[in-house]
Structures are given as C-alpha cells and as structure tokens.
Amino acid sequence: MDHVKMFLQEEDGVGVVEIILILVVLIGLVVIFKNQLTKLVNNIFKKITNQSNGI
C-alpha cells in the first residue's frame, strides 16, 4: 500500500507531460497557420535579399 501512495505522490513525469503538451499545441498552430507563416518568411527573405543587393 505504501508503494501505491508513493507512486501517486511522485511528480517526476509531470515535466515531460507538460513539454509534450506544449509541443503538440505549437505543432498544431504551425499546421493551422502554415500558409501565413510561409508567406511571412518568404516576404522577410525577399526584403533581406533586396536590401543586401543595395549594399
């Protein structure tokens, strides 16, 4: 019975579960906003390329 009580009080795996949930949310957001993120990154690289050509 003491083993069950110790198991329920153990919190070592909580950090791993939190990290996995955060990653799932981030991946979900990337999937949902994939087109907008792609356009944003392409525009940023175009601006960098245009401004570097002017130097």
pLDDT of residue 13: 66
pLDDT for 12-45, tens place per residue? 666 777 889 999 999 999 999 999 999 999 999 9
- Are 22 and 29 in contact, with CB atoms under 8 Å apart? no
pLDDT of residue 8: 66
Distance CA 39, CA 51 (A): 18
Torsion of CA 17, 20, 25, 30, to 10 degrees: 180
Span 4-18, average pLDDT: 72
Question: Six-digit token pair at 26?
Answer: 């981030």
Angle, nearest 10°, between helix axes 34-53 and 14-32? Answer: 70
